[in-house]
Structure 1
């Protein structure tokens, strides 16, 4: 095998992928895709689904299946050689996408199919793909002059390079900082599991003592438990100034210029296409129809949440003063005293909770929940090619024994791995004749890795994160749509794509579901009722603070794209300060540079779309309220969610699918109730 990226194998051979393989393979597949488009257009006016759309989709699927493992490896085991190969291909892929989107002959061919009498004989998914394609042709500038088309192409290429560079800077800044501590006394307050992790990190780096890093498990442990306020402040500053012009690495991985360039290019792109700003362009493919809808939605939530958020902060300040004689609260004190307060009022220790959630119980429990809801059977496959020893691989069969999907799980944080948690598609479902291409997903997290012989112990937040990403995975894998453009998560409005993921989080708070996924890692003892009641009592602890924090992110993101003015630049921190004055109750220090590492909007798919988390939470909360009425494992309701939401993918509008499941349009009531906020 000369180049594994050019095989027709469904599953990638990760170990065989070499950086030098990447660019030649992508060049060849791009050439094949272009040749396919040209060949299909030779049929002149006799355009049909089978003669035009299907063969082009097959060629692009082969390209996507080759690029997917390269992109994934670049995220989970980044190195200089792979990064160089990845970045060399980005402009080529961008050029191809723009070229296809601006191909007038192809646009006219799609339009002829849409106008032909046979259009009505196509199934609803095929019709949706064609309608989406006609929309996307316009959003790709098919109607622009040649001069403007060229500029559009240049913008897209520059954006792909700048957003990749932004993410690389965040990754490099995260990996570049560490603090070695020689005396264990300096870590007083931190749990033994976190100290063991710091010791293991030092050993792996060839250092004596204990190593703290900016990987989230290490950062979070310091901010939540370390008694040393000086240490908390130092780590807080290092974390919140990553990839910026200030802080301990100031200027080394600075994203300041990139942020301005990205906003400028997005604005120019929107103007070229006839929109007033990038926020309007972003909404062209979402449920929300105009910027006023988004701003009004977010400000309505802020109005309902701000008073509770302020009360949450006042209660925390009072607790710190009265119980710990601590007066001057700073951001690096919030998590620390919040955990003290949680233990004081609820007698709830996160470390105690972790003891009942070893990954060896959580994963089987997650699969048991899916089995009860949807009749799935999930089994592990041990003989597979992987990129890291921690990775596991599973397959899903339905109640009829049909293979529905497969997925990789990569749970633990490590150097050279992008932070956060995400689901991505490895292979998408399609049907060709009698053959069905089984969908495959990547589920990636950054949880605290195991230390010594003990299994990895998960916080309840980590359990919830795993359920969230698995919800995305089920949306991708359980689809019954046969056409690539709208199978799985493809073609789903971006502000509805979080519905299945947030929906799954609800089972992490149900006693019957927790019984399936918990058990003490040493004794196997089930989660005690008393501990569960404490968790439930503390469920909405500081929910107001969390809500306004998410609204701060959402409003900031939307406004910097909505209000961009070329002559004034992005005004990133000016707008952020305005948003904070409007909705926030905690004001961070001037050195805080969180936008510099906000990869969701500057490197991910959430630009002018971060509000989607809250928008979709309205849908997910309302959907789950039906299970609250019928029973959390009610098979009829589970089957309805499976068939109306998960299996339909992007084949119908998200609102129509929601109404089919719920019987009506969503209301905000369940969201507020689940967050403990009065309507």
Structure 2
């Protein structure tokens, strides 16, 4: 058999050597070896009392080998998608799902972990080790280790099918996004669209060998059209194509329809939950989260809605009046809302996202982000041009402390063909102690900003700057951990509804003078953001904040109720639930053809099923954490080190509620979130 780079251990993935044909043979070989090793360890635990060194550590090493091979494959599938890689990735999902089910239901392994907990050495294990054992025992039960053989088999079938369906859902969204485009020859049709966006549309046309401008449904193309194009019919056409992706509606109706897939996903999730003894999938999902019950989450969301709804209605009423009086739009339609909002924002605060772009050239923003992190956590960030990479735009950096490397990360900023939309952080490698010493963590940090055109640097909107800081917050959680056990290292083992705390916390530096002075510099003059512009930016921070909060509450309620109330819903049942929630929460107009749910990848192809509320839950934590910096100074070194030590370094070694209490000295309060969001007391 020829050399397969995925079977070897590298400091960093050898991207240039990875081929689609390597993937399935490597995964099969690794899984076969892991099965043998796991059986051997489980058998050994029946004859010799297990210790951490004899049982847990070798198991961790086996998991890490597989993770280090699969992680770059999964990342390339999301960022450099090709038919060959997609096929190889899809082929492996069934193998990996079957392996995960086999491990989760391995009674010998379960008894080995239980024996370790019941042994005389239990009291000698540290907090992180004990947490790892407890999490393992919990996860065995959540994987059905106690089920009879026939139900175990059914659990495995469901997990395998869900893995396939989630991947297909994601592929359909990507394909639907890339299938649609509109070519425009005359710039007059694009009146109102900013110059930076026109350059992007022109570059997209040139790349495809056509004249004029090409609009696509990638966010850097879609967003400027619906936000700035004066041509209402064009906005309607682009909006319609976007909100009907992967559905039975719109220009590609039925071609990539995700409705049958989401129907099957929902039915299988509920069956899985009942198989494991839970009433609903929402109950099952919350078993690993901070929130105690679906009722508690619903109470939290409904309370926020009660506080935000009156102000949201006022905000929309003002927008409607402005559109009538100033824009000649008698009835606001969905494709008018972003456009009218931008006009009103400019009129009220004399500021727009486009106005700010020249102050946020991407290289300066990235450098400023690193300066914020260096000041806050006393680390340094240095680029390494010798590291293996997978695309010319991707850069690799190392984080050092007192000259010693402690972590690394890949930064992939720009949208391109074959790259799924959105922004995310993913593990490349986790911090852990292995046979050779300390394995340092490495992260993948991915965004989809407008790429630079020609020799000019990419100019980011302020929204994009906050997105970068958000994802880097996740990265810091992964990279600044001090844990040495993979299962509680970085974001591993962290309750899902607390994992957004560091990411949302970092966004605050994009709104403060001290933070902005490090990252805002005019692309031509080098001038910092003028005081007047900063004042307008801060004044506009909470522009339509209540409308924005209600939108997030709408998504969160839809997700939770979908997984808590509906048994085996049809697509029309799903639509009916969404319509009902929108009637109660949405203040913006709705159109019947909107099929938002068909591209809601967070819950159908990501980790947020019955957990989308986590964004608001963690916002409460992050706003309250930020208030500690407001009190002490946003770069206060003592508070920065406490945040690092009590939150970032702990990973999943301790309960998230305990960590927050250790940092803040009390239970979290919702008041800082409402204050930071400009929501008046209800």
If the TM-score is normalised by the length of the shorter chain, which range does it land in? over 0.9
1:431-460 deviations in Å (ceiling 9; x for gaps): 135611010000000011111221000000
Q: Are the equivalent residues in 2 in contact too, given 1:264–1:569 (CA < 8 A)? A: no
Tell me by how many angstroms 1:387 deviates: 1.4
**What is the alpha-carbon distance in structure 1 between the residues aligned to residue 436 and residue 372 of structure 2?**
31
User: What's the secondary structure of 1:571's corresponding residue?
Assistant: helix
Q: Are the equivalent residues in 1 in contact too, given 2:267–2:569 (CA < 8 A)? A: no
1:77 aligned partner: 80
**What is the alpha-carbon distance in structure 2 between the residues aligned to residue 199 and residue 391 of structure 1?**
23
The equivalences for 1:517-596 within 5 A come to 517-566=519-568, 571-596=573-598
1:188-231 deviations in Å (ceiling 9; x for gaps): 11011111111100000111110000000110000111000000
Aligned partner (choices 368, 371, 387) of residue 368 of structure 1: 371
Aligned partner (choices 352, 358, 363) of residue 355 of structure 1: 358
1:66-119 deviations in Å (ceiling 9; x for gaps): 000000000001111000000000011011111011011111111111111211
**What is the alpha-carbon distance in structure 1 between the residues aligned to residue 337 and residue 397 of structure 2?**
39
1:288 aligned partner: 291
Structure 1 residues 18 and 433, CA gap change in structure 2 (3 angstroms): closer
Residue 115 (str. 1) matches residue 115 (str. 2): no
User: What's the secondary structure of 1:117's corresponding residue?
Assistant: coil
Moved over 4 A (4+): 567-570
User: What's the secondary structure of 2:498's corresponding residue?
Assistant: coil
User: What's the secondary structure of 1:307's corresponding residue?
Assistant: helix
Q: Which runs of 5+ in 1 are unaligned?
A: none
Structure 1 residues 278 and 569, CA gap change in structure 2 (3 angstroms): farther
Structure 1 residues 242 and 359, CA gap change in structure 2 (3 angstroms): same
**What is the alpha-carbon distance in structure 2 between the residues aligned to residue 157 and residue 188 of structure 1?**
50
1:154 aligned partner: 157
Q: Are the equivalent residues in 1 in contact too, given 2:332–2:589 (CA < 8 A)? A: no
**What is the alpha-carbon distance in structure 1 between the residues aligned to residue 296 and residue 405 of structure 2?**
41
User: What's the secondary structure of 1:222's corresponding residue?
Assistant: helix
Aligned partner (choices 496, 500, 512) of residue 498 of structure 1: 500
**What is the alpha-carbon distance in structure 1 between the residues aligned to residue 170 and residue 570 of structure 2?**
25
Between 1:560-569 and 1:236-245, the stretch displaced more is 560-569
**What is the alpha-carbon distance in structure 2 between the residues aligned to residue 570 and residue 561 of structure 1?**
15
Residue 65 (str. 1) matches residue 68 (str. 2): yes
Tell me by how many angstroms 1:587 deviates: 3.1
Structure 1 residues 413 and 37, CA gap change in structure 2 (3 angstroms): same
**Cα-Cα RMSD:** 1.0
Q: Are the equivalent residues in 1 in contact too, given 2:61–2:434 (CA < 8 A)? A: no
**What is the alpha-carbon distance in structure 1 between the residues aligned to residue 152 and residue 604 of structure 2?**
24
Residue 345 (str. 1) matches residue 345 (str. 2): no
**What is the alpha-carbon distance in structure 2 between the residues aligned to residue 374 and residue 617 of structure 1?**
21
**What is the alpha-carbon distance in structure 1 between the residues aligned to residue 477 and residue 569 of structure 2?**
43
Q: Are the equivalent residues in 2 in contact too, given 1:263–1:570 (CA < 8 A)? A: no
2:428 aligned partner: 426
1:476 aligned partner: 478
Residue 6 (str. 1) matches residue 13 (str. 2): no
The equivalences for 1:61-460 within 5 A come to 61-398=64-401, 400-432=402-434, 435-460=437-462
User: What's the secondary structure of 2:255's corresponding residue?
Assistant: coil
Tell me by how many angstroms 1:569 deviates: 7.4
**What is the alpha-carbon distance in structure 2 between the residues aligned to residue 214 and residue 621 of structure 1?**
33
2:509 aligned partner: 507
**What is the alpha-carbon distance in structure 2 between the residues aligned to residue 387 and residue 313 of structure 1?**
45
2:663 aligned partner: 661
Q: Are the equivalent residues in 2 in contact too, given 1:76–1:417 (CA < 8 A)? A: yes
Between 1:630-639 and 1:557-566, the stretch displaced more is 557-566
**What is the alpha-carbon distance in structure 2 between the residues aligned to residue 569 and residue 219 of structure 1?**
26
Q: Are the equivalent residues in 2 in contact too, given 1:264–1:570 (CA < 8 A)? A: no
**What is the alpha-carbon distance in structure 2 between the residues aligned to residue 553 and residue 587 of structure 1?**
15
**What is the alpha-carbon distance in structure 2 between the residues aligned to residue 565 and residue 30 of structure 1?**
35
**What is the alpha-carbon distance in structure 1 between the residues aligned to residue 334 and residue 589 of structure 2?**
8
User: What's the secondary structure of 1:42's corresponding residue?
Assistant: helix
**What is the alpha-carbon distance in structure 1 between the residues aligned to residue 11 and residue 26 of structure 2?**
16
1:647 aligned partner: 649
Q: Are the equivalent residues in 2 in contact too, given 1:309–1:545 (CA < 8 A)? A: yes
Q: Are the equivalent residues in 1 in contact too, given 2:620–2:668 (CA < 8 A)? A: yes
Structure 1 residues 447 and 206, CA gap change in structure 2 (3 angstroms): same
**What is the alpha-carbon distance in structure 1 between the residues aligned to residue 615 and residue 479 of structure 2?**
21
**What is the alpha-carbon distance in structure 1 between the residues aligned to residue 97 and residue 567 of structure 2?**
26
The TM-score with structure 1 as length reference comes to 0.99
